[in-house]
Structure 1
Amino acid sequence: MTVSESLRMTHSNTMEGRSMMPQSNASKLREVFVTSDPTNHGALVGRVDATPFPVGGPDGVGHVSPGPNPYDLLSASLAACTAMTVRFHARRGKVPLERVEVGVSFHHGAAGERDSFERTLVLEGKLDAQQRTFLLEVANLCPVGELLGISADIRLRLDATTSDLNAGTQASYEDDLAELGIPNIYPD
């Protein structure tokens, strides 16, 4: 059995039946809602439980709402899940990880090509080469990464330095919307 197979079995066994939600809500599906705000040019506001967050992007009439666009949110989900997975396995394995940082960039594939995500993993702490390799391997066990990997390529690289915290997505959500050929709607 390879290290990756062993990790996958351990990850599967330790996470089986568990949820990242509080136990009282584990049987309920969490829904994410996005609604338009008619008082703010129709800007979109997302909500998970009672926590609101802005959803950015063009509105079709010349306004661009501030906040992360859908590609940013998808990348943030992958980054958060990767960091949580690494932290979980580091704590469980008593690996002296002091800090983990995950940067994600999204690349929209050309016609007929797969989209891709590039993850950069920064690990801080008194880690030896074996521990770094272990954490790099468990990063690929991230459930969101496994789900996204069905339709997109996901690459991971280890970076010895802190990455740019504001790298953002390299794909343009606005450009993808423009490719749909939906004409702008101008108010009367």
Structure 2
Amino acid sequence: MSNSVITAITELDQSRYKTKVFSDGHLVYADEPESLGGTNEGMTPGALLLASLGSCTAITIRMYADRKEIPLETIKVDLAICKEEEMSKETTITRKIEFTGDITQEQRERLMVIADKCPIHKLLTNPIKITTT
């Protein structure tokens, strides 16, 4: 992640739950499935959270592998979050990471350690304070 402040702006008009999310010149949509009254035209907010963790994990691993010249071909990060009714003081996210490429067991183990160094992983595993104005 960059050392600059990360910002995002979300806008929701009267079009039910389809929300525009703007950040650094990019646009994505968040939405809810039709079963919850949405239009299903974007990922759910929870899926966006998992996408942030998964993409950050993969990017962090790729940066390390490239720097160390590890012959890593692909990284697949499979994520799931517990059901909302199971969330309390502790929310569980499961993350399964798969690698392809001609890498040794030692390299594979090191890449798994590096996965936990991703900035979004660090953010999610520490207390988060949200101030609202």
Same fold by TM-score, threshold 0.5 exceeded?
A: yes
- Once the 2 structures are TM-superposed, how far is the Cα of residue 110 of structure 1 from its aligned partner? 3.2
**Residue 117 of structure 2 is aligned to residue 141 of structure 1:** yes
User: Identity percentage over the alignment?
Assistant: 26
Q: How does 1:2-21 map to 2 (within 5 A)?
A: 19-20=1-2
Note if 1:101 corresponds to 2:72: no
Residue in structure 2 matching 1:63, options 12, 26, 37: 37
User: How many pairs align?
Assistant: 125
**Residue by residue, what CA displacement relative to the aligned partner does 1:107-146 show, whole Å, maximum 9, x if unpaired?**
1473645101111111011011111111111111111111
Displacement of 1:71 after TM fit?
A: 0.9
Deviations 1:23-50 (A, max 9, x none): xxx65x3321110144x34621111122
Whether 1:129 and 2:95 are equivalent positions in the alignment is no
Whichever residue aligns with residue 45 of structure 1, its letter is K
The gaps in structure 2 that reach 5 residues or longer are 128-133
Among 98, 113, 118, the alignment partner of 2:94 is 118
Picking from 39, 50, 54, the partner of 2:25 is: 50
Contact 1:37 1:45 in 2 (8 A): no
CA distance in 2, matches of 1:56, 1:71: 10
Q: Mapping of 1:143-162 within 5 angstroms?
A: 143-150=119-126
Superposition misfits of 4+ residues, deviation over 3 angstroms? 108-113
TM-score normalized by the length of structure 2: 0.80
SS of the equivalent of 1:64 reads coil
CA shift, 1:52, in A, is 1.3
Alignment RMSD:
2.5
Distance 1:75 1:137, change over 3 A: same
Give the TM-score normalised by structure 1.
Answer: 0.59
Deviations 1:44-78 (A, max 9, x none): 1111122211111279xx62132111111111111
The secondary structure found in structure 1 opposite 2:86 is coil
How many Å separate the matches in 1 of 2:9 and 2:118?
Answer: 24
Q: Which has the higher contact order (CA 8 A, sep 6+)?
A: 1
Asked whether the equivalents of residues 55 and 65 of structure 1 are also in contact (C-alpha less than 8 Å), the reply is: no
**Equivalent residue of 2:46, what SS?**
helix
Contiguous gaps of at least 5 residues in structure 1: 1-18, 21-25, 152-188
